[in-house]
Amino acid sequence: MTIEEDLIKEIKPIIDDGNLTALQIAWEEYSEHTDFGRELAWDYIFQKVYLHAALKKQHAICEWLDSIFLEFNPMLQIAMRQMFSYARYLLRK
């Protein structure tokens, strides 16, 4: 299992509980760590976390993640854009 998958596995229960504050704290702690030994694929983590939040109908978490999305470089934003239409569908479903 990769580091990214481990982080996603730790974050999903926080989303299941709908605990935005705990997610914000965890996200900040993870993003500040530099001892992972390599650059993490934050776009992959973001996508998995965002879709899980949408699946669980966590609107507040998705809104907060929308603000995180703006921190990605423009190329990654373009690559991840298509995810939002599916996420919006999951939120409405």
Does residue 89 surpass a pLDDT of 90?
A: yes
Q: How many CB atoms are closer than 10 A to CB 53?
A: 28
Mean predicted lDDT score pLDDT of the chain: 94
pTM score: 0.92
SS3 percent helix, strand, coil of the chain, rounded to 5, is 75, 0, 25
Residue 36 banded pLDDT, cuts 50, 70, 90: confident
Burial code (b: 16+ CB inside 10 Å, e: under 16) for 59-89 equals eebbebbeeebeeeeeeeeeebeebeeebee
On the question of pLDDT at 6 being above 90, the answer is yes
Q: Span 28-46, mean pLDDT?
A: 87
Task: Encode burial over 22-31: b for 16+ CB neighbours within 10 A, e otherwise.
Answer: ebeeebeebe
| Angle at CA of residue 55, ends 21 and 79, nearest 5° | 90
Q: Using the predicted structure, report yes or no on whether residue 25 has a pLDDT greater than 90.
A: yes
